[in-house]
Chains A and B, each alone.
Chain A
Amino acid sequence: MDARELRFAVEELLHAYVRCIDSDRLEEWPEFFTDPCVYEVMPRENADQGLPIAVMYCDSRGMLRDRVVAQRRANIYAPHGYRHMLSAIGVTGHEDGVVSARANYVVYRTFLDAVNYGHSELFSVGEYHDTIVFENGVARFREKLVLVDTARILSLLVTPL
Protein backbone atom coordinates (compact mmCIF):
# COMPACT_ATOMS: atom_id res chain seq x y z
CA MET A 1 0.00 0.00 0.00
CA ASP A 2 1.58 3.28 -0.99
CA ALA A 3 1.33 6.41 1.10
CA ARG A 4 -1.62 7.77 -0.83
CA GLU A 5 -3.60 4.53 -0.53
CA LEU A 6 -2.78 4.34 3.15
CA ARG A 7 -3.96 7.85 3.80
CA PHE A 8 -7.15 7.12 1.91
CA ALA A 9 -7.75 3.96 3.97
CA VAL A 10 -7.23 5.88 7.24
CA GLU A 11 -9.61 8.65 6.16
CA GLU A 12 -12.23 6.13 5.11
CA LEU A 13 -11.97 4.35 8.46
CA LEU A 14 -12.32 7.58 10.43
CA HIS A 15 -15.23 8.81 8.35
CA ALA A 16 -17.02 5.48 8.65
CA TYR A 17 -16.39 5.51 12.41
CA VAL A 18 -17.94 8.92 13.01
CA ARG A 19 -20.85 8.20 10.64
CA CYS A 20 -21.57 5.06 12.66
CA ILE A 21 -21.82 7.06 15.91
CA ASP A 22 -23.59 10.06 14.40
CA SER A 23 -26.26 7.86 12.84
CA ASP A 24 -26.82 6.05 16.14
CA ARG A 25 -25.69 2.66 14.89
CA LEU A 26 -23.88 2.07 18.17
CA GLU A 27 -24.30 -1.70 18.03
CA GLU A 28 -21.84 -1.64 15.09
CA TRP A 29 -19.36 0.58 16.93
CA PRO A 30 -17.34 -2.24 18.58
CA GLU A 31 -16.68 -3.73 15.12
CA PHE A 32 -14.36 -0.82 14.37
CA PHE A 33 -11.94 -2.24 16.94
CA THR A 34 -9.73 -5.31 17.14
CA ASP A 35 -10.19 -7.65 20.07
CA PRO A 36 -8.44 -7.01 22.39
CA CYS A 37 -8.18 -3.28 21.84
CA VAL A 38 -7.83 -0.08 23.82
CA TYR A 39 -10.46 2.65 23.70
CA GLU A 40 -9.72 5.46 26.06
CA VAL A 41 -11.36 8.86 26.55
CA MET A 42 -8.67 10.74 28.41
CA PRO A 43 -8.92 14.34 29.65
CA ARG A 44 -5.82 16.18 28.46
CA GLU A 45 -5.58 17.48 32.02
CA ASN A 46 -4.66 13.96 33.18
CA ALA A 47 -2.49 13.08 30.19
CA ASP A 48 -0.43 16.23 30.72
CA GLN A 49 0.23 15.24 34.33
CA GLY A 50 0.96 11.60 33.48
CA LEU A 51 -2.08 10.44 35.47
CA PRO A 52 -3.65 7.14 34.39
CA ILE A 53 -7.39 7.64 34.98
CA ALA A 54 -9.60 8.11 31.93
CA VAL A 55 -13.33 8.85 31.88
CA MET A 56 -13.84 5.76 29.68
CA TYR A 57 -11.35 2.93 29.47
CA CYS A 58 -12.15 -0.29 27.61
CA ASP A 59 -9.66 -3.00 26.70
CA SER A 60 -11.85 -5.44 24.79
CA ARG A 61 -14.68 -5.45 22.29
CA GLY A 62 -16.76 -6.97 25.07
CA MET A 63 -16.30 -3.86 27.20
CA LEU A 64 -17.31 -1.71 24.23
CA ARG A 65 -20.46 -3.81 23.77
CA ASP A 66 -21.23 -3.51 27.48
CA ARG A 67 -21.02 0.29 27.13
CA VAL A 68 -23.58 0.21 24.34
CA VAL A 69 -25.95 -2.16 26.17
CA ALA A 70 -25.68 0.04 29.27
CA GLN A 71 -26.49 3.13 27.19
CA ARG A 72 -29.48 1.43 25.56
CA ARG A 73 -30.85 -0.34 28.63
CA ALA A 74 -29.49 1.06 31.86
CA ASN A 75 -28.23 4.63 31.79
CA ILE A 76 -30.51 7.63 32.21
CA TYR A 77 -29.67 10.74 30.19
CA ALA A 78 -31.29 13.34 27.99
CA PRO A 79 -31.71 11.72 24.56
CA HIS A 80 -29.32 13.31 22.09
CA GLY A 81 -27.35 12.78 18.92
CA TYR A 82 -23.82 13.74 17.95
CA ARG A 83 -22.36 15.33 14.85
CA HIS A 84 -18.61 14.87 14.52
CA MET A 85 -16.41 17.24 12.51
CA LEU A 86 -12.98 15.88 11.63
CA SER A 87 -9.96 17.79 10.44
CA ALA A 88 -6.19 17.53 10.15
CA ILE A 89 -6.34 13.80 9.56
CA GLY A 90 -2.81 12.50 9.09
CA VAL A 91 -0.76 9.32 9.08
CA THR A 92 2.05 9.83 11.57
CA GLY A 93 3.74 6.45 11.35
CA HIS A 94 3.67 3.11 9.51
CA GLU A 95 5.71 0.11 10.53
CA ASP A 96 5.12 -3.63 10.04
CA GLY A 97 1.51 -3.04 9.04
CA VAL A 98 0.77 -0.94 12.13
CA VAL A 99 -0.36 2.57 11.26
CA SER A 100 -0.37 5.56 13.58
CA ALA A 101 -2.78 8.34 12.76
CA ARG A 102 -4.06 11.57 14.25
CA ALA A 103 -7.08 13.71 13.66
CA ASN A 104 -8.75 16.66 15.31
CA TYR A 105 -12.40 16.25 16.19
CA VAL A 106 -15.25 18.50 17.24
CA VAL A 107 -18.51 17.02 18.46
CA TYR A 108 -21.78 18.96 18.57
CA ARG A 109 -24.55 17.46 20.69
CA THR A 110 -28.18 17.97 19.73
CA PHE A 111 -30.83 17.27 22.34
CA LEU A 112 -33.91 15.23 21.56
CA ASP A 113 -35.61 15.51 24.97
CA ALA A 114 -38.81 17.40 25.76
CA VAL A 115 -37.14 20.47 27.30
CA ASN A 116 -34.26 21.11 24.92
CA TYR A 117 -35.47 19.40 21.74
CA GLY A 118 -33.44 20.54 18.77
CA HIS A 119 -30.90 22.51 20.76
CA SER A 120 -27.35 21.97 19.52
CA GLU A 121 -24.28 22.78 21.55
CA LEU A 122 -20.55 22.38 21.23
CA PHE A 123 -19.95 19.32 23.37
CA SER A 124 -16.37 18.17 22.97
CA VAL A 125 -13.13 19.21 21.30
CA GLY A 126 -10.06 17.05 21.11
CA GLU A 127 -7.74 14.81 19.17
CA TYR A 128 -7.79 11.17 18.12
CA HIS A 129 -4.52 9.28 18.52
CA ASP A 130 -5.15 6.05 16.66
CA THR A 131 -3.24 2.84 16.10
CA ILE A 132 -4.71 1.03 13.10
CA VAL A 133 -4.10 -2.48 11.79
CA PHE A 134 -5.52 -4.37 8.83
CA GLU A 135 -7.31 -7.66 9.56
CA ASN A 136 -8.00 -9.54 6.32
CA GLY A 137 -7.84 -6.22 4.53
CA VAL A 138 -10.23 -4.50 6.96
CA ALA A 139 -8.82 -1.49 8.81
CA ARG A 140 -9.55 -1.54 12.55
CA PHE A 141 -8.47 0.43 15.59
CA ARG A 142 -6.12 -1.51 17.82
CA GLU A 143 -5.94 1.54 19.99
CA LYS A 144 -8.02 4.69 19.95
CA LEU A 145 -7.01 7.36 22.42
CA VAL A 146 -9.51 10.23 22.49
CA LEU A 147 -7.52 13.04 24.03
CA VAL A 148 -10.16 15.47 25.24
CA ASP A 149 -9.44 19.19 25.51
CA THR A 150 -12.95 19.75 26.88
CA ALA A 151 -12.19 18.29 30.29
CA ARG A 152 -15.30 19.93 31.76
CA ILE A 153 -17.99 17.59 30.45
CA LEU A 154 -21.44 19.09 30.08
CA SER A 155 -23.77 17.00 32.22
CA LEU A 156 -22.47 13.58 31.23
CA LEU A 157 -20.80 11.46 28.57
CA VAL A 158 -22.71 8.33 27.58
CA THR A 159 -22.39 8.15 23.79
CA PRO A 160 -18.80 7.38 22.79
CA LEU A 161 -16.71 10.06 21.08
Chain B
Amino acid sequence: MEVCMDGVANHRSVSPVSLTWPADVARVPYRVFLDPAIYAYEQEILFRGPIWNYVALEAELPNPQDFKATFVGDTPIVVTRDKEGALHAFVNRCAHRGALVCREPRGNRPTHVCVYHQWSYDLRGNLIGVPFRKGVNGAPGMPEDFQPAQNSLRQLQVAAYNGLIFVSFDPQVESLAEYLGPDMRACLDRIFNRSVQVLGHARQFISANWKLYAENTRDPYHASLLHLFHTTFGMYRSSQGGGITLDAKGRHSALHSYRKTEAEELTAYKNTDLRTYQDKYTLADPSLLQGRPEFPGLTIQAIFPNLTVQQIQNTLAVRHTIPRGVEQFELVFTFFGYEDDDAEMRAIRRKQANLVGPAGLVSMEDGHATEIVQQAIRRDQDATSIAAMGGREIAGEESLITETGIRGFWRYYRELLGIAGAESVQKENGAWTHENYASR
Protein backbone atom coordinates (compact mmCIF):
# COMPACT_ATOMS: atom_id res chain seq x y z
CA MET B 1 0.00 0.00 0.00
CA GLU B 2 0.92 3.61 -0.39
CA VAL B 3 1.24 6.34 2.23
CA CYS B 4 -1.48 4.89 4.36
CA MET B 5 0.78 2.11 5.58
CA ASP B 6 3.62 4.27 6.77
CA GLY B 7 4.95 3.47 10.20
CA VAL B 8 4.51 5.42 13.38
CA ALA B 9 8.08 6.71 13.13
CA ASN B 10 7.03 8.89 10.20
CA HIS B 11 4.48 10.80 12.23
CA ARG B 12 6.42 13.92 13.09
CA SER B 13 3.41 16.12 13.72
CA VAL B 14 3.16 15.19 17.39
CA SER B 15 5.40 17.17 19.68
CA PRO B 16 7.57 15.24 22.09
CA VAL B 17 6.34 15.60 25.61
CA SER B 18 8.35 15.82 28.76
CA LEU B 19 6.89 13.78 31.53
CA THR B 20 8.37 12.63 34.78
CA TRP B 21 6.95 9.30 35.75
CA PRO B 22 8.08 7.76 39.00
CA ALA B 23 9.90 4.45 38.71
CA ASP B 24 7.09 2.93 40.73
CA VAL B 25 4.42 1.87 38.25
CA ALA B 26 1.91 2.01 41.11
CA ARG B 27 2.23 5.81 40.91
CA VAL B 28 0.34 7.44 38.03
CA PRO B 29 0.99 11.13 37.26
CA TYR B 30 -2.34 12.95 36.86
CA ARG B 31 -0.93 14.71 33.84
CA VAL B 32 -1.63 11.64 31.67
CA PHE B 33 -5.34 12.41 32.06
CA LEU B 34 -5.05 16.11 31.20
CA ASP B 35 -2.28 16.89 28.73
CA PRO B 36 -3.45 17.41 25.12
CA ALA B 37 0.05 16.52 23.86
CA ILE B 38 -0.10 13.15 25.60
CA TYR B 39 -3.58 12.60 24.20
CA ALA B 40 -2.38 13.35 20.66
CA TYR B 41 0.66 11.14 21.15
CA GLU B 42 -1.36 8.16 22.31
CA GLN B 43 -3.75 8.54 19.35
CA GLU B 44 -0.75 8.05 17.04
CA ILE B 45 1.44 5.66 18.99
CA LEU B 46 -1.16 3.63 20.84
CA PHE B 47 -4.45 3.51 18.93
CA ARG B 48 -2.66 3.53 15.55
CA GLY B 49 0.16 1.44 16.95
CA PRO B 50 0.95 -2.27 17.24
CA ILE B 51 -2.25 -3.26 19.01
CA TRP B 52 -5.71 -4.57 18.15
CA ASN B 53 -8.75 -2.36 18.77
CA TYR B 54 -12.22 -3.81 19.28
CA VAL B 55 -14.74 -2.29 16.83
CA ALA B 56 -17.87 -4.48 16.54
CA LEU B 57 -19.56 -7.80 17.09
CA GLU B 58 -19.91 -9.88 13.94
CA ALA B 59 -23.60 -10.14 14.90
CA GLU B 60 -23.89 -6.41 14.15
CA LEU B 61 -22.96 -7.11 10.51
CA PRO B 62 -24.68 -10.42 9.76
CA ASN B 63 -25.31 -9.91 6.03
CA PRO B 64 -23.20 -9.19 2.94
CA GLN B 65 -22.76 -5.43 2.41
CA ASP B 66 -23.63 -4.62 6.05
CA PHE B 67 -21.53 -1.89 7.61
CA LYS B 68 -20.96 -0.22 10.96
CA ALA B 69 -19.36 3.21 11.39
CA THR B 70 -17.38 3.56 14.60
CA PHE B 71 -14.04 4.80 15.93
CA VAL B 72 -10.52 3.62 16.66
CA GLY B 73 -9.36 6.05 19.29
CA ASP B 74 -10.85 9.23 17.86
CA THR B 75 -10.30 8.23 14.21
CA PRO B 76 -13.58 7.51 12.42
CA ILE B 77 -13.60 4.13 10.68
CA VAL B 78 -16.04 1.84 8.89
CA VAL B 79 -16.26 -1.93 9.24
CA THR B 80 -17.85 -3.73 6.29
CA ARG B 81 -18.77 -7.22 5.24
CA ASP B 82 -18.25 -7.80 1.52
CA LYS B 83 -20.38 -9.85 -0.87
CA GLU B 84 -18.32 -12.95 -0.09
CA GLY B 85 -18.78 -12.48 3.64
CA ALA B 86 -15.23 -11.26 4.41
CA LEU B 87 -14.72 -8.39 6.85
CA HIS B 88 -12.89 -5.17 5.96
CA ALA B 89 -12.22 -1.86 7.66
CA PHE B 90 -11.07 1.53 6.48
CA VAL B 91 -10.64 5.04 7.78
CA ASN B 92 -13.83 7.01 7.21
CA ARG B 93 -12.16 9.96 5.48
CA CYS B 94 -12.43 10.62 1.76
CA ALA B 95 -9.10 10.47 -0.09
CA HIS B 96 -10.12 13.57 -2.03
CA ARG B 97 -10.77 16.39 0.43
CA GLY B 98 -11.10 14.59 3.71
CA ALA B 99 -14.85 14.45 4.21
CA LEU B 100 -16.57 11.74 6.20
CA VAL B 101 -17.61 9.17 3.57
CA CYS B 102 -20.04 7.05 5.59
CA ARG B 103 -22.47 9.23 7.54
CA GLU B 104 -24.87 6.62 8.99
CA PRO B 105 -24.06 4.56 12.09
CA ARG B 106 -25.04 1.27 10.44
CA GLY B 107 -26.72 -0.09 7.35
CA ASN B 108 -26.32 -2.08 4.17
CA ARG B 109 -25.01 -0.86 0.84
CA PRO B 110 -22.79 -2.10 -2.01
CA THR B 111 -20.54 0.97 -2.19
CA HIS B 112 -19.71 3.99 -0.06
CA VAL B 113 -19.94 7.34 -1.79
CA CYS B 114 -18.72 10.66 -0.43
CA VAL B 115 -21.57 13.17 -0.73
CA TYR B 116 -19.20 16.10 -1.22
CA HIS B 117 -17.92 15.23 -4.75
CA GLN B 118 -19.24 11.67 -5.05
CA TRP B 119 -15.94 9.87 -5.06
CA SER B 120 -17.00 6.25 -4.59
CA TYR B 121 -15.40 3.29 -2.88
CA ASP B 122 -16.02 -0.44 -2.81
CA LEU B 123 -16.53 -2.43 0.39
CA ARG B 124 -12.78 -2.79 0.88
CA GLY B 125 -12.29 0.97 0.62
CA ASN B 126 -10.80 0.90 -2.90
CA LEU B 127 -11.49 4.03 -4.96
CA ILE B 128 -13.74 2.99 -7.85
CA GLY B 129 -15.17 6.25 -9.16
CA VAL B 130 -14.15 9.92 -9.57
CA PRO B 131 -16.74 12.15 -11.28
CA PHE B 132 -15.35 14.13 -14.25
CA ARG B 133 -11.98 12.40 -13.87
CA LYS B 134 -11.44 12.63 -17.65
CA GLY B 135 -12.78 16.17 -17.72
CA VAL B 136 -15.94 17.56 -19.20
CA ASN B 137 -16.63 19.75 -22.26
CA GLY B 138 -12.94 20.10 -23.01
CA ALA B 139 -11.96 20.94 -19.43
CA PRO B 140 -8.98 18.84 -18.40
CA GLY B 141 -10.12 16.73 -15.41
CA MET B 142 -7.64 15.07 -13.03
CA PRO B 143 -3.95 15.10 -14.01
CA GLU B 144 -2.66 12.25 -16.20
CA ASP B 145 -0.61 10.82 -13.34
CA PHE B 146 -3.60 10.49 -10.99
CA GLN B 147 -3.99 6.81 -10.13
CA PRO B 148 -7.19 5.68 -8.39
CA ALA B 149 -5.38 2.61 -6.99
CA GLN B 150 -3.06 4.97 -5.09
CA ASN B 151 -5.96 6.94 -3.60
CA SER B 152 -8.05 4.43 -1.76
CA LEU B 153 -9.34 4.89 1.76
CA ARG B 154 -6.77 3.95 4.38
CA GLN B 155 -7.30 0.24 4.87
CA LEU B 156 -6.86 -1.44 8.25
CA GLN B 157 -5.93 -4.93 9.36
CA VAL B 158 -9.05 -6.84 10.41
CA ALA B 159 -9.37 -10.01 12.44
CA ALA B 160 -12.19 -11.65 14.34
CA TYR B 161 -12.16 -13.92 17.35
CA ASN B 162 -15.33 -15.84 18.25
CA GLY B 163 -17.49 -13.14 16.70
CA LEU B 164 -15.58 -10.15 18.11
CA ILE B 165 -14.10 -7.91 15.39
CA PHE B 166 -10.79 -6.10 15.96
CA VAL B 167 -8.78 -3.82 13.69
CA SER B 168 -5.23 -2.53 13.67
CA PHE B 169 -3.46 0.28 11.83
CA ASP B 170 -0.20 -1.68 12.00
CA PRO B 171 0.42 -4.31 9.30
CA GLN B 172 3.17 -5.81 11.51
CA VAL B 173 0.88 -6.30 14.50
CA GLU B 174 1.07 -9.72 16.14
CA SER B 175 -1.80 -12.11 15.38
CA LEU B 176 -5.03 -11.41 17.23
CA ALA B 177 -4.79 -14.78 18.99
CA GLU B 178 -1.29 -13.92 20.26
CA TYR B 179 -2.41 -10.43 21.21
CA LEU B 180 -5.21 -11.83 23.37
CA GLY B 181 -3.12 -14.63 24.84
CA PRO B 182 -4.33 -18.04 26.06
CA ASP B 183 -5.94 -16.93 29.34
CA MET B 184 -7.94 -14.10 27.77
CA ARG B 185 -8.98 -16.36 24.89
CA ALA B 186 -10.21 -18.95 27.39
CA CYS B 187 -12.28 -16.29 29.11
CA LEU B 188 -13.79 -15.14 25.80
CA ASP B 189 -14.39 -18.76 24.76
CA ARG B 190 -16.58 -19.21 27.80
CA ILE B 191 -18.97 -16.43 26.88
CA PHE B 192 -18.67 -16.49 23.10
CA ASN B 193 -19.31 -20.21 22.97
CA ARG B 194 -22.02 -20.06 20.28
CA SER B 195 -23.74 -17.56 17.99
CA VAL B 196 -24.80 -14.42 19.77
CA GLN B 197 -27.68 -12.10 19.00
CA VAL B 198 -27.61 -8.35 19.61
CA LEU B 199 -30.38 -7.26 22.01
CA GLY B 200 -29.75 -3.53 22.18
CA HIS B 201 -27.36 -0.63 22.66
CA ALA B 202 -26.87 1.96 25.36
CA ARG B 203 -24.55 4.96 25.36
CA GLN B 204 -22.99 7.04 28.09
CA PHE B 205 -21.05 10.25 27.56
CA ILE B 206 -18.56 10.74 30.38
CA SER B 207 -16.62 13.93 31.19
CA ALA B 208 -13.31 12.26 31.98
CA ASN B 209 -10.21 10.89 30.27
CA TRP B 210 -10.71 7.44 28.71
CA LYS B 211 -7.85 5.89 30.70
CA LEU B 212 -9.70 6.45 33.96
CA TYR B 213 -12.26 3.98 32.68
CA ALA B 214 -9.50 1.56 31.64
CA GLU B 215 -8.40 1.70 35.28
CA ASN B 216 -11.95 1.28 36.55
CA THR B 217 -12.55 -1.94 34.65
CA ARG B 218 -9.30 -3.41 35.99
CA ASP B 219 -10.09 -2.45 39.58
CA PRO B 220 -12.06 -4.95 41.66
CA TYR B 221 -11.09 -3.09 44.87
CA HIS B 222 -13.86 -0.52 44.32
CA ALA B 223 -16.61 -3.01 43.55
CA SER B 224 -18.06 -3.61 47.00
CA LEU B 225 -17.26 -0.06 48.16
CA LEU B 226 -18.63 2.12 45.34
CA HIS B 227 -21.40 -0.14 44.09
CA LEU B 228 -23.73 -0.38 47.06
CA PHE B 229 -26.79 -1.92 45.43
CA HIS B 230 -26.02 -5.46 46.54
CA THR B 231 -24.94 -4.55 50.06
CA THR B 232 -27.87 -2.16 50.53
CA PHE B 233 -30.35 -4.87 49.64
CA GLY B 234 -28.51 -7.46 51.69
CA MET B 235 -27.40 -9.61 48.79
CA TYR B 236 -23.67 -9.42 49.28
CA ARG B 237 -22.11 -12.55 50.68
CA SER B 238 -18.85 -12.20 52.47
CA SER B 239 -18.11 -15.80 51.56
CA GLN B 240 -17.87 -14.83 47.91
CA GLY B 241 -14.58 -15.69 46.32
CA GLY B 242 -12.88 -14.08 43.41
CA GLY B 243 -9.72 -13.12 41.69
CA ILE B 244 -8.07 -11.49 38.74
CA THR B 245 -6.32 -13.02 35.75
CA LEU B 246 -3.81 -11.03 33.70
CA ASP B 247 -2.29 -11.88 30.34
CA ALA B 248 1.48 -12.35 30.12
CA LYS B 249 2.10 -8.62 29.53
CA GLY B 250 -0.39 -7.45 32.15
CA ARG B 251 -2.25 -5.38 29.55
CA HIS B 252 -5.52 -7.33 29.67
CA SER B 253 -7.34 -8.47 32.77
CA ALA B 254 -10.31 -10.59 33.75
CA LEU B 255 -12.04 -10.17 37.09
CA HIS B 256 -14.04 -13.08 38.38
CA SER B 257 -16.24 -13.18 41.41
CA TYR B 258 -17.96 -16.41 42.30
CA ARG B 259 -19.73 -18.13 45.12
CA LYS B 260 -17.73 -20.87 46.67
CA THR B 261 -20.20 -23.70 46.76
CA GLU B 262 -22.70 -25.05 44.30
CA ALA B 263 -25.41 -24.59 46.92
CA GLU B 264 -24.57 -20.90 47.24
CA GLU B 265 -24.60 -20.54 43.49
CA LEU B 266 -27.99 -22.19 43.11
CA THR B 267 -29.41 -20.17 45.98
CA ALA B 268 -28.24 -17.01 44.34
CA TYR B 269 -30.25 -17.84 41.26
CA LYS B 270 -33.34 -19.08 43.09
CA ASN B 271 -33.07 -16.00 45.26
CA THR B 272 -35.43 -17.43 47.82
CA ASP B 273 -33.37 -16.44 50.81
CA LEU B 274 -32.99 -12.72 50.24
CA ARG B 275 -34.68 -11.92 53.52
CA THR B 276 -32.20 -13.91 55.55
CA TYR B 277 -29.46 -11.63 54.27
CA GLN B 278 -31.36 -8.43 54.75
CA ASP B 279 -29.83 -5.58 56.57
CA LYS B 280 -32.45 -2.88 56.36
CA TYR B 281 -33.89 -2.97 52.86
CA THR B 282 -35.21 -5.75 50.69
CA LEU B 283 -36.24 -5.74 47.07
CA ALA B 284 -39.97 -5.18 46.80
CA ASP B 285 -39.82 -7.18 43.58
CA PRO B 286 -37.03 -9.79 43.64
CA SER B 287 -37.90 -10.97 40.12
CA LEU B 288 -35.11 -8.64 38.98
CA LEU B 289 -32.53 -11.16 40.14
CA GLN B 290 -34.35 -14.39 39.37
CA GLY B 291 -32.23 -15.65 36.57
CA ARG B 292 -31.06 -19.03 35.41
CA PRO B 293 -27.82 -20.79 36.26
CA GLU B 294 -25.64 -20.07 33.25
CA PHE B 295 -22.22 -18.82 34.32
CA PRO B 296 -20.83 -18.82 37.84
CA GLY B 297 -20.69 -15.41 39.52
CA LEU B 298 -19.51 -12.45 37.51
CA THR B 299 -16.83 -11.66 34.93
CA ILE B 300 -15.47 -8.28 33.88
CA GLN B 301 -12.83 -8.71 31.22
CA ALA B 302 -10.80 -5.72 30.01
CA ILE B 303 -8.99 -6.11 26.69
CA PHE B 304 -6.42 -3.38 26.03
CA PRO B 305 -7.18 -0.65 25.20
CA ASN B 306 -10.89 -0.20 24.60
CA LEU B 307 -12.99 -3.34 25.13
CA THR B 308 -14.78 -4.60 28.22
CA VAL B 309 -16.71 -7.86 28.18
CA GLN B 310 -19.14 -8.29 31.02
CA GLN B 311 -21.19 -11.14 32.40
CA ILE B 312 -23.21 -10.14 35.44
CA GLN B 313 -25.79 -12.78 36.34
CA ASN B 314 -27.52 -13.41 32.98
CA THR B 315 -26.73 -10.05 31.47
CA LEU B 316 -24.08 -10.09 28.78
CA ALA B 317 -22.60 -7.05 27.08
CA VAL B 318 -19.53 -5.64 25.42
CA ARG B 319 -18.55 -2.07 26.25
CA HIS B 320 -16.58 -0.05 23.72
CA THR B 321 -14.64 2.95 25.06
CA ILE B 322 -14.32 5.76 22.51
CA PRO B 323 -12.13 8.78 23.42
CA ARG B 324 -13.85 12.05 22.48
CA GLY B 325 -11.03 14.40 23.39
CA VAL B 326 -8.70 14.69 26.37
CA GLU B 327 -11.42 14.99 28.99
CA GLN B 328 -14.33 13.12 27.47
CA PHE B 329 -15.14 9.63 26.36
CA GLU B 330 -18.15 7.71 25.21
CA LEU B 331 -19.06 4.29 26.47
CA VAL B 332 -21.15 2.18 24.08
CA PHE B 333 -22.79 -0.91 25.56
CA THR B 334 -23.93 -3.63 23.18
CA PHE B 335 -26.13 -6.11 25.02
CA PHE B 336 -26.44 -9.59 23.62
CA GLY B 337 -27.86 -13.03 24.20
CA TYR B 338 -27.59 -16.25 22.20
CA GLU B 339 -29.42 -17.06 19.01
CA ASP B 340 -30.83 -20.17 20.68
CA ASP B 341 -32.18 -18.36 23.78
CA ASP B 342 -35.80 -19.26 24.46
CA ALA B 343 -38.42 -16.59 25.16
CA GLU B 344 -38.01 -16.86 28.94
CA MET B 345 -34.23 -16.42 28.74
CA ARG B 346 -34.72 -13.40 26.51
CA ALA B 347 -37.11 -11.94 29.10
CA ILE B 348 -34.55 -12.57 31.86
CA ARG B 349 -31.83 -10.76 29.92
CA ARG B 350 -34.20 -7.89 29.21
CA LYS B 351 -35.05 -7.46 32.88
CA GLN B 352 -31.50 -7.92 34.15
CA ALA B 353 -30.24 -5.22 31.78
CA ASN B 354 -31.52 -2.97 34.61
CA LEU B 355 -28.38 -3.93 36.51
CA VAL B 356 -25.84 -2.34 34.16
CA GLY B 357 -25.48 0.46 31.60
CA PRO B 358 -26.24 4.16 32.05
CA ALA B 359 -29.11 3.44 34.45
CA GLY B 360 -27.65 0.22 35.87
CA LEU B 361 -28.71 -0.36 39.46
CA VAL B 362 -25.47 -2.17 40.20
CA SER B 363 -22.95 -0.17 38.23
CA MET B 364 -24.29 3.14 36.88
CA GLU B 365 -21.71 4.98 38.99
CA ASP B 366 -18.56 3.76 37.21
CA GLY B 367 -18.50 6.63 34.74
CA HIS B 368 -19.26 9.16 37.46
CA ALA B 369 -16.37 7.79 39.53
CA THR B 370 -14.03 8.72 36.67
CA GLU B 371 -15.61 12.20 36.52
CA ILE B 372 -14.94 12.98 40.18
CA VAL B 373 -11.28 12.15 39.58
CA GLN B 374 -11.13 14.41 36.53
CA GLN B 375 -12.74 17.23 38.54
CA ALA B 376 -10.10 17.14 41.25
CA ILE B 377 -6.72 16.68 39.54
CA ARG B 378 -6.31 19.65 37.21
CA ARG B 379 -4.11 21.83 39.40
CA ASP B 380 -1.85 19.00 40.57
CA GLN B 381 -0.75 17.39 37.34
CA ASP B 382 2.62 16.28 38.66
CA ALA B 383 1.06 14.67 41.70
CA THR B 384 0.29 10.99 41.38
CA SER B 385 -2.39 8.53 42.28
CA ILE B 386 -1.48 5.40 44.24
CA ALA B 387 -2.51 2.07 42.78
CA ALA B 388 -0.59 -0.06 45.25
CA MET B 389 -3.34 -2.17 46.79
CA GLY B 390 -2.09 -5.73 46.95
CA GLY B 391 1.56 -4.71 46.51
CA ARG B 392 3.63 -3.54 43.56
CA GLU B 393 3.64 -6.77 41.60
CA ILE B 394 1.83 -7.30 38.32
CA ALA B 395 0.36 -10.78 38.26
CA GLY B 396 -2.89 -12.67 38.62
CA GLU B 397 -4.25 -12.96 42.15
CA GLU B 398 -6.80 -14.96 44.07
CA SER B 399 -8.18 -11.81 45.62
CA LEU B 400 -10.46 -8.98 44.61
CA ILE B 401 -8.76 -6.49 46.91
CA THR B 402 -6.05 -5.62 44.43
CA GLU B 403 -4.93 -3.00 41.93
CA THR B 404 -2.58 -5.29 40.05
CA GLY B 405 -4.63 -4.95 36.85
CA ILE B 406 -4.23 -1.17 36.94
CA ARG B 407 -0.47 -1.53 37.33
CA GLY B 408 -0.42 -3.96 34.41
CA PHE B 409 -2.30 -1.46 32.25
CA TRP B 410 0.15 1.36 33.01
CA ARG B 411 3.28 -0.72 32.61
CA TYR B 412 2.15 -1.72 29.12
CA TYR B 413 0.97 1.83 28.31
CA ARG B 414 4.39 3.18 29.29
CA GLU B 415 6.15 0.55 27.22
CA LEU B 416 3.99 1.25 24.20
CA LEU B 417 4.51 5.01 24.36
CA GLY B 418 8.18 4.67 25.23
CA ILE B 419 7.77 6.41 28.57
CA ALA B 420 10.53 5.36 30.87
CA GLY B 421 10.45 5.15 34.64
CA ALA B 422 12.20 7.79 36.74
CA GLU B 423 15.83 6.58 36.54
CA SER B 424 16.01 6.33 32.77
CA VAL B 425 13.96 9.49 32.36
CA GLN B 426 16.61 11.39 34.31
CA LYS B 427 19.28 10.12 31.94
CA GLU B 428 17.29 11.61 29.08
CA ASN B 429 16.77 14.95 30.79
CA GLY B 430 13.24 14.11 31.74
CA ALA B 431 11.93 14.04 28.19
CA TRP B 432 10.19 11.23 26.45
CA THR B 433 10.16 11.50 22.69
CA HIS B 434 9.53 9.55 19.53
CA GLU B 435 13.17 8.56 19.64
CA ASN B 436 12.81 6.60 22.82
CA TYR B 437 9.70 4.88 21.55
CA ALA B 438 10.92 1.31 21.34
CA SER B 439 7.98 -0.88 22.11
CA ARG B 440 8.48 -3.23 19.21
Contacts and interface: CB of A to CB of B under 8 A. Distances in A.
B284 A65 contact: yes
A76 B368 contact: yes
Contacts of A152: 203-205, 330
A9 interface: no
A73 B228 contact: yes
Given A45-B201, A51-B201, A63-B285, A70 B361 contact: yes
A125 B166 CA distance: 33
24 contacts: A43-B202, A52-B199, A55-B359, A57-B350, A57-B354, A62-B283, A62-B284, A65-B284, A66-B285, A66-B288, A67-B361, A69-B232, A69-B281, A73-B281, A74-B361, A75-B364, A75-B365, A151-B202, A153-B203, A153-B359, A156-B359, A156-B367, A157-B359, A157-B364
Nearest to B375: A115
A53 interface: yes
A62 B358 contact: no
B200 A156 contact: no
Interface of B: 198-207, 226, 228-229, 231-233, 281, 283-285, 287-288, 330, 335, 346, 349-351, 353-354, 357-359, 361, 364-365, 367-369, 371, 375
A77 interface: yes
Contacts of A115: 375
A40 B157 CA distance: 40
Interface string A55-99: 111111111011101100111111000000000000000000000
Which A-B residue pairs are the 5 nearest by beta carbons?
A53-B200, A62-B285, A62-B284, A74-B232, A76-B365
Classify chain A's interface size.
Answer: 35 or more
Contacts of B354: 56-58, 63
B359 A41 contact: yes
Question: For the complex, would chain A's binding face be called helix, strand, loop or mixed by DSSP majority?
Answer: mixed
Nearest to A76: B365
A5 B198 CA distance: 44
Most buried by A among B207, B330, B346, B357: B357
A23 interface: no
Contacts of B375: 115
Most buried by B among A70, A78, A154: A70
A51 B284 contact: no
Question: For the complex, would chain B's binding face be called helix, strand, loop or mixed by DSSP majority?
Answer: mixed
Contact of A155 (B201, B351, B368): B368
A156 B365 contact: yes
B350 A153 contact: no
Nearest to A154: B205
A160 B386 CA distance: 36
B359 A53 contact: no
A155 B330 CA distance: 9
Contacts of A52: 199-200, 346, 350
Nearest to B226: A76
Given A63-B284, A157-B364, 8 more contacts: A56-B359, A66-B283, A66-B285, A66-B288, A75-B228, A154-B205, A156-B364, A158-B364
B229 A153 contact: no
A156 B226 CA distance: 15
B284 A55 contact: no
A128 to B, nearest CB: 17
Contacts of B285: 60, 62-63, 65-66
B233 A74 contact: yes
B273 to A, nearest CB: 18
Contacts of B346: 52
Given A63-B284, A66-B285, A66-B288, A158 B201 contact: no
